[in-house]
A and B are shown apart, each in its own frame.
Chain A
Amino acid sequence: MLSMFKSIPTHMDYKGQKLAEQIFQGIILVSAAIGFIYGLIVQQFGWTVYIMLAGFTVSCLLTLPPWPMYRKSPLNWQPALPETPAETREKPQENQKKKKHK
C-alpha cells in the first residue's frame, strides 16, 4: 500500500513548470479583467473580489497538483556508455634498457 503511493510521480519537467506558470497567470489576469468589468457594470466592488477569488481557486486546482499534462516533455538524456574493462598495457622492458658502450 505504501509503495503504491511512493510510485506516484510528483515531478514536473521544465516545460511543464513553464506551462503551469503560464496557466495560473493567464487565469488570474482573465478573471481580474472579468471581475473589474463586471464590478464596474453593477457598481459593486464585492463582485470584483468574488470573481477574483473564483479565478484564484481555479488556478489552485489546475496548477498546484502535479497533473500528468506537466510531464509530457521529458529530457532526452544521452544513452549510457557500456562499462568496458580497461586493460593496462605492459610496456616492453627492452626499450628501457640503455646499454652503455665503452
Chain B
Amino acid sequence: MNTVLSRANSLFAFSLSVMAALTFGCFITTAFKDRSVPVDIHVSKVMIKNVDDFTGPRERSDLGFVTFDLFANLQPIFDWNVKELFLYLTAEYSTKSNTLNQVVLWDKIVLRGDNTKLNLKDVKSKYFFFDDGNGLRANKNITLTLSWNVVPNAGILPLVMGSGHKSLAFPETYETAKSY
C-alpha cells in the first residue's frame, strides 16, 4: 500500500530525523568552544551607608553604593548556537560570619543581533548592595566580576566568568548625606 498519506508520513518522519541530526551537529560543533572574553571593569565611586534593612533579619545593615564603568567585546561569544547572553555583575567578599558573600549588582540581557560591544560609563548598581550585617565597612577586598549565562539553540547552558576582575575597598566611615 503506497498512498499520498503514507508517502507524506515517510517524508515528514525522515525530515524530522535529519533536522534532529542537524541540531545535534550544531551543538557538537560549538560544544568545546571557550566562551570567555576579557572584561575591563573600572570603579569610579564607592560609598557606604548604614540603613534600615527591611529585607533581612537585622534592623540595620550596610548598604554599598558602587558606580562603575564596564568595557567588554562580546562578539566572539556569539556563534551559530548562541542566541542570548545573560550578563550579571557580582560582588564577592568575605566577612566574619560568611567566608563567601556574592551579591548581584547589575545585569543585562544581550540578544543575538543586539550591540555586542559593551561600553558603559558611570553605571550605578541596579540592585541593592546589602550586606546582612556590617561586613562592608572598611572591607578592603571586594571583587567585582562580570559573568554571563549563555543561552544556546541546542545543548548545555554554560555559566562563564569573564577574565578580568576588579578589587575595591569600602571606606571606614558611613556616608550620612541624603543625596547619592
Contacts and interface: CB of A to CB of B under 8 A. Distances in A.
Interface stretch (B13-21, B98-106, B124-132): B13-21
Nearest to A63: B7
B81 interface: yes
B163 to A, nearest CB: 23
B22 A32 contact: yes
Contact of A43 (B14, B19, B22, B78): B78
Contacts of B79: 43
A12 B6 CA distance: 13
Contact of A35 (B2, B22, B29): B22
A36 B23 CA distance: 9
B85 to A, nearest CB: 15
B82 to A, nearest CB: 9
A35 B19 CA distance: 10
Given A21-B10, A24-B11, A39-B80, A48 B22 contact: yes
Nearest to B78: A43
Contact of B11 (A32, A63, A66): A63
Nearest to A14: B2
B8 A60 contact: yes
B25 interface: yes
Contact of B18 (A20, A28, A43, A45): A28
Given A17-B2, A45-B26, A45-B81, A52 B11 contact: no
A24 B21 CA distance: 17
Contacts of A43: 78-80
Interface string A47-59: 0110010011001
Most B CB contacts (10 A, CB to CB) among A32, A45, A49, A63 go to A45
A12 B25 contact: no
A73 interface: no
Contacts of A52: 15, 18-19, 22
Contacts of A79: none
A54 to B, nearest CB: 11
Interface in B1-49: 2, 4, 7-8, 10-11, 14-15, 18-19, 21-23, 25-26, 29
24 contacts: A20-B7, A24-B7, A24-B11, A25-B14, A28-B11, A28-B15, A28-B18, A32-B18, A35-B22, A36-B25, A36-B26, A42-B80, A43-B79, A43-B80, A45-B26, A45-B80, A45-B81, A48-B80, A49-B19, A52-B18, A52-B19, A55-B15, A59-B15, A60-B8
4 A-B pairs with the lowest CB-CB distances in the bound complex, closest first:
A43-B80, A45-B80, A17-B2, A32-B18
Interface of A: 12, 17, 20-21, 24-25, 28-29, 32, 35-36, 39-40, 42-45, 48-49, 52, 55-56, 59-60, 63-66
